Each structure stands twice: as structure tokens, then as C-alpha cells.
């Protein structure tokens, strides 16, 4: 084992690991992060989630609720390598925090419960990592729990995540008797004694020797099937050397062809050191990753992780505190030093780099510079937002920002007293600056300030943060969901003529459009006009006008989705036709077509996974039915039942309290958005009048 904790590094591009900890809520991410910091010497006393003493869950609400809400970055060292680690939230309401983190990471450790295996949010964050092409290794946690089963957990990875698990360890002991692992790569035992924080390396126990040989052979065969060089050695010798196996595992991991699986119990500090070794051995360094791509105008550029290259970095998180703004950056190329002037490529404004900090959650260590491959925080940037590209002024580049999902729940917020109205506006502006997944707007009809987010808990946390941080009294309205409107039955051959004459240059545009439903969400526009009756620039203007009309539908002013518009004919005037006139024709023509057609109201639907004691199943099923839930499956576990159902989001407000009441506090649930579905006709009028 390698347990040194150096403080100097040879090369950030090769000796740094930028990774995230991903998992379903309560799988043990934060505890694992705490144990990593302890094992590497970054902290000298282990914190506990249930005591509210962990380094990464430093926010008051995180400690009160016992969950991770904000992605927190920490830095530590292991075996000559710096590990920049981001502990991400596991609750679906904070999946945008995960998205922003994944955008700047080179690898990840996915944590799974040894009893539950792959859980709903595990699948969601895994898909997010897939979209970003982030290599992963898996850590099956809580091996000391009753019912822990590594083989079952691995089977769930294979079946639900559709990956090739490459299991490199064999547990020693079961459940409460779990004391260590057999390292199948080096064929040795790693054992932790009672109260010991470091492992003892020994020979494989006699009673496990045969099983270890069998599992090592299976691992050799798996790797040989996937890796050509390993196959050559296996065919020649019928086995793989430890070095060949380790090298092949590294390449398969970094290429996304297999997932190395380890196991342990973070709470008891068993299995953490081998995990650190695996992070260094298998996950990529910045130099192993493809060059980052960006744009300069219409041209695409690449930047390699070279400290001598022009500077480019992506801001992925902003903490706007009362004492100033702290901006977290991933440096992709070049070098950034204190006092440098950099360009915000999106706005064209320049910023001056203040202090550069290596982040330890809510604690920081100042450094003089950051180079390609680093993740650091910068003090003093005034206008940079999450998603902004900072670059050298003489070598501009725009990097692709993290994507943000559309909010699905909204609440009206107002200050309790008129004197606090201005302070509330400032606090809300700072809040959305920190969290881009929150959207702030003013309702045009009521004049109310409306805050929108990813779920009920997301908004609860946001409002409570304002109350605590700014000492403000806030009145919050009932949550409202983000409905959509769609076309159930379209219109063919709708004619709209836009004519305007007010003494000066006139406006003339004549369009004929068809509107039809589209499978799924989104909007499609096409033109079948022939003979040049409508010039191409006017066709594009019609499309732009149609998109303008989608902002508010005729039923209740909700955004419109799920339709195709076809421009079939039109006419122009030699003097009075213009792009502006045809854009207006597209906007007003589509509005008229939507009023003439049959519209349908859509509501967001979520997949709910409820875990309840067996004696409460009947009541919970009845409650889900009353909430218009459609049960899609159930599975029995020891003493509990897991129920999966699709439920309209509007019916889930207050469900957490109801579930606790029905199960005497023993029931839990998770929810993830799955899309939109039509509101039953009988409820549409009631919903629109609410």
C-alpha cells in the first residue's frame, strides 16, 4: 500500500486527478469523501454526517438536513498526485449541481449501496456522466450492512447501467464481519483490524484462496476479451501478469469500455486506501483527456492542457457572499497568476485575477498561480458567471458551458414588510447568480416576483438560504408547476395576411401554414414553398415569428411544445415586404392557428420510487392512486417493499410529510422527472382556473 502524503507535484497535467463523487442520496458519498480526506492527511479528525461535522457539507442547511445540497470541492494528495475532489448532491432536485461539476471533471467515483445496488438517482447521474464522456470506477459501499451483497450489486450495474463491471476485489467476511478485501490484481489480502485506520497487507486467507484464483481467472478472461494486447498475453500464457492487467484496466477505464469495481465500508474506514490507489492508477489525468474544444466566431479551436499554451478556463460555480464573490474555475490550458487580466469571452469584458485559492470546502489555501489541469477558486471577479469562459485577451476562445434543465416548479416570493423589498431583490439576484438552475421573473399579470427551480426541496432550500443569510422575513406562495400546451388536432391551410400602412413604408406579408402535432416535445419548422414565392430570408423570418408565438399558448399562457409548422405558400410585395413583416406574419398566424385548433394542457410527470415497510404497502398504494399515480412495479426486500410509480408533479406537493405520517417515519421516496403528459380533460378547466 502507498500511504505517503506529499505536498509537491511534478506536473499538473499528469499528476492531478480531477474527479467527482456520484451517487444516489444516502449511498455514502459525503462519508466517503470525509474518509478520503482523513486517509490522505488533509484532515486529522473524521467528521460524521449525522453529527454535522463533515468538511464538504459545510452549509448550515446541509448539516441540518443531513444531505449534500451544494457541490463542494476539496483538494488532497496521495502517492505523488493531487486529487481535486468534488462531492456532488445525490437528490434529484440538485442534479444541475451535478451537471455543472461533470462538465469540468476528468473522472468520477460512482458510489453504490451494497444492499440496494443501483438506485434511481444512480441511473440519472450515470447518464449525466455518459453525456460528458467521464470515465468512472465504482465503489460498492456499506459492505458491513445486513444484506450486503457485492455480487448482487455488480449484477445491478450490469443490468441497469448496461456496463461491463470489472471486479478487482473479493470481500473478506460478510456484513458486520467484513474486515477487508482480496486484491485480485496483486493477489494479496488487505485487512483492517478493529479500530485501525490503515490496512495490513498479508497473504490471501486459505479459505478464500481457491475462490480468489477463480475470480482472478474470470477477470483475466474479461479483460482479454476487451483488450487486444492483454488477449495476446493471455493466449500465450493462459494468464495475465499483474502489470499487464493493471495497464489494461487503466486503458479500458479511460476508454469507457469497462468499469473497475471496488468495495468497502466508508463509515468504518475500510477500503478507502485501495480506492485511492485505484483513482491514481485507473482514472485519467488532464493530459490523458482529449483537447478541450471551443469556438472563436464560426471557427472551432482546440486547446491542450499545456501550461505554456494561451490561457483558457471555465467558471463552473460562483459563491456570492456578503464579503465578496468566490468563482470556481477549471483551467484547461495556460497559466493564471494573481494580478493577471483575463477576458470573459462571452461578454467581452476584462476581469482582474485577485487571490487564487486551493479550495477545501469552506476553507482555502492561497496559491500564487494555477496551471492547466488545476481546479481553483478566484477572489474578486466582478461579473463572471457560472458557465463563463475566461481566456487570454490576445487568444479569445469560448468553451461550451454546462447545460441547464428547465425549471419545473415555481413559487411567488415577497418581503414581509415593504421596507425589506429592496433587500429581498438584492438577495434574490445573488441567489440566482450562485445557482443558474434558479430562474427569477416578474409575473406580468400580478406583478409578483416568481422564483422557479427544479423541485419543491430546491425552492425550500433557496428560500431558507435567503432567510438565514440575510435575516429577511419572506412570504412564500403555494408551489406551482410549469405546465405546457400542445396541439392535439392541427389546422391545415391557415391563411394570414399581415398588412400595415401608416403613412411611411408599409408592411406586407402573406403566409399559408399547416400546423400538426409532433411526437414528443419540441418544435419543427419546414417550408414546402416552391417557385421562389417566398424568398429564403423571409422563410427564416416566418420561422422566427413562429418561435415567438410558442412563448404563450392560448389555453393558459403556458409555453407551447410538440408541434410542427409547415409553410406551404405565401406572397410578397415588391416594396413593402420585409423580414420584420414576415416575422410578424409568422407570429400572429401561428397564434391564430393555435386558437383554431384543438389544444391540450401538459403537466410534468415524475417517476417516484417509494420504499416502505411491508405493513404500510396498502396505505401507500392507495395514497399514490389518489394522487393519480400509475404504479409500474414493485419489488420485495427484507421487511420492505419498493414501489415504482409515475405521478404528476402537481400531486406530490407535501408528499414527504404524508409518507412519514402513513409509515410512522419509516418510509422514504425519491423522484426524478420523466417528461410531460396530458392533463385529464376533466381536470384541465380546474387546473387553468387555479
For the record, the C-alpha cell of 111 comes out as: 458510489
What are the residues facing 612 on neighbouring strands?
641
Here the CATH number for the domain that contains residue 448 is 3.30.70.870
Q: Are residues 683 and 641 in the same domain?
A: yes
- With contact defined as beta carbons under 8 Å apart, do 101 and 131 qualify? no
- With contact defined as beta carbons under 8 Å apart, do 578 and 572 qualify? no
SS3 category, 270: strand
Whole-number Å distance between alpha carbons of 671 and 610: 9
Q: Are residues 297 and 346 in the same domain?
A: yes
Q: Are residues 503 and 635 in the same domain?
A: no
End-of-domain residue from the set 288, 316, 343: 288
pLDDT at 9: 52
What's the pLDDT tens digit per position in 407-419?
A: 777 888 888 888 8
Residue whose C-alpha is closest to residue 470's, from 438, 436, 431, 432: 431
Q: Are residues 454 and 391 in the same domain?
A: no
For the record, the C-alpha cell of 183 comes out as: 486484491
End-of-domain residue from the set 480, 507, 530: 480
Q: Find the helix or strand (DSSP H, E) in which 180 lies.
A: strand 180-183
pLDDT at 172: 97
> What is the residue-averaged pLDDT of the chain?
87
Q: Are residues 558 and 661 in the same domain?
A: no
Domain assignment present for residue 4? The answer is: no
Question: Which strand ranges, in their side-by-side order, compose the sheet holding 350-352?
Answer: 350-352, 341-344, 389-391, 312-321, 324-333, 375-379, 356-360, 363-367
Domain assignment present for residue 6? The answer is: no
Q: Are residues 115 and 205 in the same domain?
A: yes
413: CB partners within 8 A, 6+ apart = 424, 428, 449, 450, 451, 463, 474, 475, 476, 477
Q: Are residues 525 and 670 in the same domain?
A: no
Residue whose C-alpha is closest to residue 185's, from 128, 248, 117, 272: 248
What's the pLDDT tens digit per position in 626-643?
A: 999 999 999 887 778 999
Mean pLDDT computed over 201-214: 96
End-of-domain residue from the set 423, 446, 480: 480
Q: Are residues 36 and 66 in the same domain?
A: yes
Count the domains in the chain: 5
For the record, the C-alpha cell of 231 comes out as: 488477449
pLDDT at 592: 96
Whole-number Å distance between alpha carbons of 449 and 428: 10
Whole-number Å distance between alpha carbons of 608 and 622: 14
Domain assignment present for residue 351? The answer is: yes
Whole-number Å distance between alpha carbons of 384 and 325: 9
What's the pLDDT tens digit per position in 547-581?
A: 999 999 999 999 999 999 999 999 999 888 999 99
Here the CATH number for the domain that contains residue 522 is 3.30.230.10
Q: Are residues 181 and 274 in the same domain?
A: yes
Mean pLDDT computed over 650-667: 81
Here the CATH number for the domain that contains residue 679 is 3.30.70.240
Q: Are residues 204 and 153 in the same domain?
A: yes
Whole-number Å distance between alpha carbons of 486 and 507: 30
List the end-to-end C-alpha distance of the chain, in Å, as a whole number.
64
Q: How many CB atoms sit inside 10 A of residue 678's CB?
A: 12
Domain assignment present for residue 5? The answer is: no
pLDDT at 169: 98
Domain region containing 639: 602-689
* Angle of CA points 78, 84, 85, to nearest 5°: 100
Domain assignment present for residue 128? The answer is: yes
Q: Are residues 284 and 302 in the same domain?
A: no
Whole-number Å distance between alpha carbons of 178 and 266: 12
Domain assignment present for residue 223? The answer is: yes
Domain assignment present for residue 554? The answer is: yes
Q: Are residues 436 and 582 in the same domain?
A: no
Domain assignment present for residue 29? The answer is: yes
What's the pLDDT tens digit per position in 26-38?
A: 788 888 988 998 8
Amino acid at each position: 500500500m502507498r500511504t505517503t502524503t506529499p505536498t509537491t507535484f511534478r506536473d499538473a497535467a499528469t499528476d492531478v486527478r480531477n474527479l467527482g463523487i456520484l451517487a444516489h442520496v444516502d449511498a455514502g458519498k459525503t462519508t466517503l469523501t470525509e474518509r478520503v480526506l482523513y486517509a490522505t492527511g488533509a484532515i486529522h479528525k473524521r467528521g460524521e454526517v449525522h453529527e454535522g461535522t463533515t468538511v464538504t457539507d459545510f452549509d448550515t442547511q446541509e448539516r441540518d438536513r443531513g444531505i449534500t445540497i451544494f457541490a463542494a470541492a476539496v483538494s488532497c494528495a496521495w502517492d505523488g498526485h493531487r486529487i481535486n475532489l468534488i462531492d456532488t448532491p445525490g437528490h434529484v432536485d440538485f442534479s444541475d449541481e451535478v451537471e455543472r461539476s461533470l462538465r469540468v471533471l476528468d473522472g468520477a467515483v460512482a458510489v453504490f449501496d451494497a444492499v440496494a445496488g443501483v438506485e434511481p438517482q444512480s441511473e440519472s447521474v450515470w447518464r449525466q456522466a455518459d453525456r460528458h464522456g467521464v470515465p468512472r470506477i465504482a465503489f460498492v459501499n456499506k459492505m458491513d450492512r445486513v444484506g450486503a451483497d457485492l455480487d448482487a450489486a455488480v449484477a445491478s450495474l450490469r443490468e441497469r447501467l448496461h456496463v461491463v463491471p470489472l471486479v478487482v476485489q473479493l470481500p473478506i467476511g460478510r456484513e458486520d464481519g467484513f474486515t477487508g478485501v482480496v486484491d485480485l490484481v496483486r493477489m494479496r489480502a488487505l485487512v483492517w483490524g478493529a479500530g485501525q485506520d490503515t490496512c495490513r497487507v498479508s497473504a490471501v486467507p486459505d479459505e478464500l484462496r481457491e475462490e480468489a484464483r477463480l475470480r482472478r481467472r474470470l477477470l483475466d478472461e474479461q479483460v482479454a476479451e476487451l483488450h487486444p494486447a492483454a488477449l495476446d498475453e493471455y493466449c500465450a500464457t493462459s494468464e495475465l501478469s499483474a502489470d499487464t492487467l493493471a495497464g489494461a484496466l487503466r486503458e479500458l477505464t479511460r476508454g469507457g469500455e469497462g468499469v473497475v469495481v471496488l468495495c468497502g465500508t466508508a463509515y468504518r474506514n475500510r477500503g478507502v486506501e485501495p480506492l485511492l490507489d485505484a483513482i491514481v492508477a485507473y482514472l485519467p489525468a488532464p493530459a490523458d483527456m482529449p483537447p478541450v474544444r471551443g469556438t472563436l466566431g464560426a471557427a472551432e479551436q482546440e486547446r491542450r492542457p499545456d501550461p505554456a499554451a494561451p490561457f483558457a478556463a471555465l467558471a463552473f460555480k460562483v459563491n456570492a457572499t456578503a464579503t465578496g464573490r468566490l468563482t470556481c474555475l477549471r483551467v484547461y490550458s495556460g497559466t493564471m497568476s494573481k494580478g493577471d487580466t483575463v477576458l470573459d469571452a462571452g461578454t467581452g469584458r476584462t476581469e482582474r485575477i485577485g487571490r487564487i485559492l486551493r479550495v477545501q470546502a469552506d476553507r482555502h489555501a492561497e496559491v500564487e498561480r494555477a496551471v492547466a489541469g488545476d481546479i481553483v477558486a478566484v477572489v474578486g471577479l466582478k461579473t463572471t458567471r457560472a458557465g463563463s469562459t475566461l481566456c487570454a485577451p490576445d487568444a479569445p476562445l469560448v468553451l461550451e458551458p454546462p447545460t441547464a434543465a428547465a425549471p419545473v416548479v415555481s413559487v411567488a416570493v415577497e418581503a414581509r414588510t415593504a421596507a425589506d423589498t429592496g433587500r429581498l431583490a438584492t438577495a434574490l439576484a445573488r441567489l440566482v447568480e450562485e445557482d443558474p438552475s434558479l430562474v427569477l421573473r416578474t409575473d406580468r399579470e400580478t406583478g409578483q416576483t416568481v422564483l422557479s427551480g427544479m423541485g419543491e426541496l430546491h425552492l425550500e432550500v433557496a428560500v431558507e438560504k435567503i432567510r438565514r443569510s440575510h435575516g429577511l422575513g419572506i412570504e412564500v406562495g403555494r408551489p406551482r408547476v410549469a405546465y405546457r400546451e400542445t396541439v392535439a388536432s392541427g389546422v391545415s391551410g391557415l391563411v394570414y395576411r399581415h398588412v400595415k400602412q401608416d403613412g411611411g413604408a408599409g408592411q406586407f406579408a402573406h403566409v399559408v401554414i399547416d400546423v400538426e402535432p409532433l411526437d414528443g416535445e419540441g418544435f419543427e419548422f419546414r417550408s414546402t414553398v416552391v417557385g421562389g414565392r417566398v424568398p429564403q430570408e423571409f422563410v427564416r423570418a416566418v420561422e422566427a415569428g413562429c418561435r415567438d408565438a410558442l412563448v404563450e399558448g392560448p389555453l393558459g399562457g403556458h409555453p407551447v411544445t410538440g408541434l410542427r409548422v409547415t409553410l406551404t405558400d405565401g406572397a410578397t410585395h415588391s416594396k413593402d415586404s420585409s423580414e420584420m413583416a414576415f416575422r410578424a406574419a409568422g407570429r400572429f398566424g401561428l397564434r391564430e392557428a393555435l386558437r383554431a385548433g384543438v389544444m391540450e394542457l401538459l403537466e410534468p410527470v415524475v417517476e417516484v420510487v417509494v420504499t416502505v415497510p411491508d405493513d404500510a404497502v396498502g396505505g401507500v398504494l392507495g395514497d399514490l392512486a389518489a394522487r393519480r399515480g400509475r404504479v409500474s412495479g414493485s419489488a420485495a426486500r427484507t421487511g420492505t417493499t419498493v414501489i415504482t410509480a409515475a405521478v404528476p408533479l402537481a400531486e406530490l406537493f407535501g408528499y414527504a410529510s404524508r409518507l412519514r405520517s402513513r409509515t410512522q417515519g419509516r418510509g422514504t421516496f425519491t423522484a426524478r422527472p420523466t417528461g410531460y403528459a396530458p392533463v385529464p380533460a376533466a381536470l384541465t378547466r380546474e387546473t387553468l382556473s387555479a
